[in-house]
Amino acid sequence: MKLLPYSHIFLTLLTLGMTAPAWGLAEEAGDDLQPMGFDTGVPIASTPRSPRPTSKIAENVTVITAREIAFLNAHTLAELLQTVPGIQLDKTGRTPGMFEFVTIQGANSQHLLVVVDGISQNEAGENMADLGAIPLQQIERVEIIKGGASAAWGQALGGVINIITKSPDPDQAFSATVFSSLGDKFTTDQRLEVSGTVERLGYYLTGGLLHSDGLLANNGINQNTLFGKVVYDLPAKGRLTLTLDAGNSRRGIEEVPPPDDWRDNYDRKRHASHLSLAYPLGEKLNLELDGHYAYLKTDTKQGMMTTPELWRHFLEDETDWGGRGKLVWGNRRLNLTSGMEYEHNRINLTETVTADPYYLIQKNFNRYGLFGNGTVSVGQVTILPGIRYDRVDGGHNEVSYTLGATCLLTPKNVLRSYFARGYSRSLAFMDNASPQKGWTTQIGAEIGEIPYLWLKGTLFYNNTWNMADPAGTGTVVSQVRQGVEVELRTVPLHGTTLSLGYTLTDLRDKETRTRVQGIPGDLLKLAVIYDNPVWGLHGILGGNYVWWNNPGVAADRNFIWDLRLNQKLLPAKELSPELFLTAHNLFNSAQYADYHYTNAGRWLEGGVRLRF
């Protein structure tokens, strides 16, 4: 099938424009959309665009709040993303904290940009982020943009995972949270958070230790993380923010018995710092400046189970530093954000192999970007244009642009349409290769007027070229990716809510028209959510169904069910201790993309959360 060519998108935009009343500002009542208790009114923050409610965002966006994160009792970003419609991890169900590849509506990790407080987490070598190394405790909100977003973000051909960290507690000089869990195979997670504000100075500090002997063979982990944020309100006006982030981990990836016969271990160390200034220049004009520095070192060892010698050994270190400046003018109904940014990456990669004892990559990347994005609300219609110029690796010039529109039919009904052209940079081993490119179109609706039901649907079509071959051959391919995503949620009945998210993705080689294997074709997320504040009880029964389209290799077409329970011991007390219990893979099912990386069976963990 063929969905949404250019003409359909522009026809949709024209239709939205025809529905607008006479020129004027949108009514304030229409600025937020919060159907059925869904947190869709949360504005996008820390982006190159201006903050605005999701009812004025043309892209397909999912927002996850700190409260929702807490109820999951999960450990890392990877586990959180596995619960989101349209997202599938390929090594899910293994020991927490493992390195994970992820797809969003069929777009793989190399085409997804992961940012923390606006700073990219993608590693230069393979242009992907280590999702298992990002702990959840310091996260205030996660915003997931499904589809190309290069005009606002730079290299983001398949989507963006935007993470906003917690800020200091503004109401107390000191507050603290302790989290402790214990599960099978001595799987433990110990965390401490402290936060507060004293006069003009606010602080937030958290540290954690994630350990497991391994739910599977050679699948253990020791991971330490430390994160701190200091916020200082300047005497006249403006705010300085300094964040420091450090972590190291030792992981066993897997052991595969003969006849394949291999083992794989991975060590990682990273530290980063980020300094930003937010300064109001006028009633509607703000200046934002920031700079960052990060250093990463990894050590990967691969060998056979039957012999002690290594047959491949990777040593990699990366340095990343840069800065950005932007001006934000207007309000959420009429605004313009413009700016520039610079980023420098240096990568050294040493590979020792049995047949060829030494291989080295030494590269420096410099990227410059200029961007401008705006919002114009006319009656109940919002138009969202954007453009960006990037000079990227090897002297390539990339122009990304976008045009979106939303129409607020009623306070609970929104139509969306979106077109964007963008890129993701080439991989480090492909010398001076042209960036991977493509364009995406989306059309969708969010409906809250149906009795007892909230419904959201999106059609998407993506045309991509210069794509790095997923098999790692160094060649490039052209692909077409299209499909539909549907989400629904019921009104709470006696504290119980049902939710469903279904994604159908069809990814094909543009030349041969053959379907690409190893990409989820059918993906279904189900959840039964129970919330009883009087009893202090909250529970989630979540199911994940996937068809990997990888015959002979994958185990799929079934559900993995997880049960998560939270109990406040003193429901009437805000600072009451909380007990929690999680039963993973309740029915002991097998679900994996590759039989070399099987999932764990049923396992349990429980713990306590204390607030002071």
Q: Using the structure block, give the residue that is written with the tokens 């991971």.
A: 223
- Distance (Å, whole) CA 448 – CA 573: 33
* Helix boundaries (H) for 136-227: 150-153
Please report the pLDDT score of residue 27 as a whole number: 32
In angstroms, the CA 209 to CA 223 distance is 6
Phi, psi of 492 (to 5 degrees): -55, 130
What pLDDT does residue 393 have?
76
Torsions phi, psi for 79 (to 5 deg)? -65, -40
Q: Which pLDDT band, with edges at 50, 70 and 90, does 428 fall under?
A: low
Residue 81 to residue 91: CA distance in whole angstroms: 12
- Does 365 score more than 90 pLDDT? no
The b/e string for 332-351 (b: 16+ C-beta within 10 A; e otherwise) is bbbbbbbbebebebbbebeb
Which one-letter DSSP state was computed for residue 141?
A: E
Q: What is the pLDDT of residue 400?
A: 96
SS3 473: coil
Identify the pLDDT of residue 41.
36
Kindly report each contact of residues 557-560 with a partner whose C-beta sits within 8 Å and lies 24 or more positions away, as own/partner.
558/589, 558/590, 558/591, 559/526, 559/587, 559/589, 559/591, 560/92, 560/93, 560/585, 560/589, 560/591, 560/599
Q: How many CB atoms lie within 10 A of CB 200?
A: 12
Report the distance separating Cα 548 and Cα 544, nearest Å: 12
Please state which of the ranges 23-32, 121-130, 391-400 shows the lowest mean pLDDT: 23-32
**pTM (2 decimals)?**
0.91
- pLDDT for residue 46: 40
Preceding peptide of 259 cis, ω within 30°:
yes
Within 10 Å of residue 557's Cβ, how many Cβ atoms?
Answer: 11
Q: Which residue has the tokens 């995972």?
A: 161
Counting Cβ atoms within 10 Å, is residue 512 exposed (0-12), middle (13-18) or buried (19+)? exposed
261-288: pLDDT as tens digits: 888 999 999 999 999 999 999 999 999 9
Range 357-371 average pLDDT: 85
Q: What is the pLDDT of residue 596?
A: 87
What is the per-residue pLDDT across 150-168, written as a single tens digit (0 to 9) for each?
A: 999 999 999 999 999 999 9
Distance CA 72, CA 559 (A): 18
Return the number of other C-beta atoms located less than 10 Å from residue 373's C-beta.
Answer: 24
Domains assigned to the chain: 6-611 (2.40.170.20)
State which amino acid sits at residue 66: A
Residue 263 to residue 254: CA distance in whole angstroms: 6
**Cα angle value 484/592/250 (rounded, 5°):** 115
Task: pLDDT band for 310, please (50, 70, 90 cuts).
Answer: confident
Q: For the residues of 249-311, what is the DSSP string, one character each?
A: EEEEEEEE-TTT-EEEEEEEEEEEEEEEEEEE-SSSEEEEEEEEEEEEEEEEEEE-SSSSSEE
The pLDDT-based confidence of 513 (bands split at 50, 70, 90) is: very high
pLDDT per position as a tens digit, 480-502: 999 999 999 999 999 999 999 99
Q: In this predicted structure, what is the pLDDT of residue 23?
A: 26
SS (H, E, C) 491-508: CCECCEEEEEEEEEEEEE
pLDDT value at 226 more than 90: yes
Q: Residues 182-208: what's their mean pLDDT? A: 97
Q: Say yes or no to pLDDT of 148 above 70.
A: yes
For the stretch 304-308, contacts whose Cβ atoms lie closer than 8 Å and that sit 24 or more positions apart, written own/partner, are 304/261, 304/262, 304/263, 305/255, 305/256, 305/257, 305/258, 305/261, 305/262, 305/263, 306/258, 306/261
Q: What length does the chain have? A: 612
- pLDDT of 52 reads 61
Are 354 and 312 in contact by the 8 Å Cβ rule? The answer is yes
Token pair for 175: 């507050």
Whether the predicted pLDDT of 227 surpasses 70: yes
